Structure 1
Amino acid sequence: MNTPAKGRTEKDQRTRELAAIHAARRDLALDDESYRDLLWSITGQRSAADLNARQRRAVLDQMRRLGAKQRPRKRVAQHPGRPHNLDSVAQLQKIEAQLADMRLPWSYADAIARQQCGIERVAWLKEPQHLQAVIAALHVEQKKRGMLAQLREILARDGITEQQLTEKFKLKEGWQRRRVTLNRLINLLM
């Protein structure tokens, strides 16, 4: 009986091999019929999805002999700093969604982890409360950005610049980062 971890590994291997077969098909510029004929001649199957591990490797070997290039597996994540354990920790996926929503790099979450937990990278956080603290901090940042965007829409509607607003209400430097101030201004100008 397979353990869950072993099952995931075999499934991941199958996925990588199928992707490699399809990449090799593109390299060789095989049309659908030629591709299926090649599969049939090697394995007796007409679809890569039906191949077992040995057959997938045989197909890949033959395609490489025919000139398909073997590409090294990319270790670079989609986003620089993306945690290696993203797929296994649901809270990291939430963090990724928050970062994507604000178009922020993973280094932003790493800075929060450093500041709040004393741990260099968000990927190294093990305690659920630490991950939750990063999620909460990102939520606060989302809220601030949303409020500032709303205030800027109001200012644009009324033809007021941020400089004029700052002078009129004698706002202190950095007021754009304070939720209480943003909330009061929005309520006042609505």
Structure 2
Amino acid sequence: MNNKAKLIQLIHVAKREMALDDETYRAALSGVCGKNSCKNLSLSELHQVLEHFKRTGFKMRSKKVNNRISPLSSEPVKAAEIRVIRALWIDMAQSGLLSDSSEAALDRWVYRMSKVRHVGWLNGKQAVKVLEALKKWDARLMAKWLDEHLGTNYQAKLKHGTLSYSLMLKRFAKGKQVYKERQNAE
């Protein structure tokens, strides 16, 4: 994509994010450059329009670049539990329980639990401790989701220790299925 196309794209993003109707948008273009269409603007005019939108409230956001990805599951690890930790993290994200499923987010969580900066650096004892903490957190998130979406009372049952993690996994899978069926019925 060339520079002009990128600027036009940014201007259209500004239009959308500032919730400008077509008439207001074209009036802004006309007021800044005397033309009512981006395709008729030069590069310097496009820059002027973008600067105008920035001055009037448009906030440009940079794309978050996360180059770290999980290693292949066939790569060697210090402790077998590390593979399980990563798999559970990915499963939690796919279930909608995590907002950030990245390897960097996992490393931040692991650091809070173990003071080890990278999940791959955990030794066997640390990995077991982190895995157990992750399973408890996962169970709490599943219980919260079920209570909020289906009106169950699993959070209280977890607090009293009457639900195991494996039973919570089964209940969550069934609850997601019931919720999906209810949504389709509506």
Global fold match (TM > 0.5): no
- Computing the radius of gyration from Cα coordinates, the structure with the larger value is 1
Please indicate the TM-score interval, normalised by the length of the shorter structure.
0.3 to 0.5
